[in-house]
Amino acid sequence: MASFVDAGTLILVLAIGCMLFGGISLASAGRTDIAIRYWSLGYFLAGAGVLALALRGYIPDLASIQGANIGVLIGIGLMLIAIITHAGRDHLKLPAVTGCAVAIIVFNVASLPPFNAPIEVRIAIVSAAIAMSQLFALYALWGLKTERSNLLTLMRISHLVLSIAFILRFISGLQGWAISLFIPNPVNVLFYVSAMAMAFIQAPTFLLMKKEQADRRAVRAEEELSNEVSERAVERRFHATRMRVERAGAIEHFARGVAHDANTMIGVLQLGFGQIRNDIAESKPVPAETLNLMEKALAQARVTASGLLALGGKKSPTLTQVNVSDVLDEVASMLAYGAPREIAVRNETPKGLLGRAHRGFLSTALLNIGRNGIEAMAGGGTLTLSARRLSEVPKGDYQVGSVASGPIVDISVTDEGPGIARDTLNELFEPMVTTKEEQDGHGYGLYMARGVAERLGAAIVVQTQRETGTVMHFLLASGERK
């Protein structure tokens, strides 16, 4: 039995086992994980080097000495790099590679002419290099920040045992104890039994540590995903609740605005109806102005309904050549009726001016712009409506929409109010934005005007000056060629 279980047999078992393990793991997981690739290749090269040592006397000395020991040192170095990569301590890679290179150079210098160092010295050099690599690996693993793991503890113990074994081997080499590796003495057998046991323990343990690490990451990722899903669900519920609240507020504001417009038109109709009833009771003729005003109120009700449909619908309105002068006459009459006594409404539009638009939508936009101007003149003043042909868009402080190039019709609404603050211009045409008290303004007038402009392919340019007033230009394509 003793003649069978000797150092040579253990070397062959160790070499073949390391090569098989390295080749199998390299062909599988080593293709996808860089740390396992280093580990597998290192095991294969170390096993090949040990096999070359075992074949000494059967193969040339250059292969069985230089080649074998270089293979072992490179393999040990690659396994050390794998440990460092797994531990995430990349700053240790350069010292590890440098130490491996120095060990290879020192060994070759000592074993080649003119030195031809004896076997004891060569064993001491290789043993010192392997012992240092095991201590270095133990240092890298000791600083690994991870959960408590039995595999990690086992890996640390194996590196500690190997470092002690090769330190003792190094000491024996220095004191000349080293004799032929194949002589079955208790020291050699004990050394190779411990080395083989630790090598075979390290092989699967490292792979199991990698799997354990991957499992932990998968669990953390699953927990993070679950937390994120929960947070998203809470956010969605919060967002839905907020949208319901905002929608309710928007409906309230919008309803207040529509009610305000409807009350104006109903007031006109009610006033006209009362006057007609009185005139009939007194056998007086009904004034044509009263009937005209009532007809305009009904037309404006239809216009407002059309404007709401225009804002809510997706279909573009049909554009035709509209008599801008007639539209401004109607708008001026409606604005004058609803304006306070201290505010005058003046229309300075020349007759026969045409623009390409939708009559109902254009009236809606101009009425809302005009009412905004009237409401801005709390202390009284004059609201002036006018229109003219232009060849280019006038410059202003703010613009919404865009108009096609070519001749345009500029419909301007000028008030003598306090002007608009610069920080308000950017949100002036947004819904529910008003500079008036909540009970007096619903914040949808200019928003509707912007919506109409966008549907008509028109633009609104604002020119304002503090303490002087504001001019809003509603720009239409004239439909004429240059």
434-479: pLDDT as tens digits = 655 544 445 667 888 888 888 888 999 999 998 889 999 999 988 6
Can you tell me the distance from the alpha carbon of 330 to that of 385, in angstroms, rounded to the nearest whole number? 11
Overall pTM > 0.75: no
Q: Are the beta carbons of 40 and 22 closer than 8 angstroms?
A: yes
Can you tell me the distance from the alpha carbon of 414 to that of 345, in angstroms, rounded to the nearest whole number? 10
User: What fold characterizes domain 292-477?
Assistant: Heat Shock Protein 90 (3.30.565)
* Rg value, the chain, Cα: 47
Q: Are the beta carbons of 256 and 442 closer than 8 angstroms?
A: yes
Total residues belonging to the chain: 482
Query: Beta strand 398-401 with 408-415: parallel, antiparallel or unpaired?
Result: unpaired
Can you tell me the distance from the alpha carbon of 5 to that of 338, in angstroms, rounded to the nearest whole number? 115
What pLDDT shows up at residue 41? Answer: 92
What pLDDT shows up at residue 179? Answer: 46
The tens digit of pLDDT for each residue in 89-122 reads 889 999 999 999 999 999 888 888 888 888 888 8
Q: Phi and psi (nearest 5°) for 4? A: -90, -45
The structural domains of the chain, with segments of one domain joined by +, span: 7-229, 292-477
Amino acid found at 393: V
User: What fold characterizes domain 7-229?
Assistant: Rhopdopsin 7-helix transmembrane proteins (1.20.1070)
Q: Are the beta carbons of 310 and 455 closer than 8 angstroms?
A: yes
Average pLDDT of adjacent 10-residue blocks, the chain of 482 residues: 56 83 80 85 90 85 87 93 90 92 91 82 88 92 76 90 86 62 56 77 87 85 86 82 66 60 73 81 80 73 63 69 90 83 91 88 88 88 93 90 87 92 83 56 73 88 90 87 51
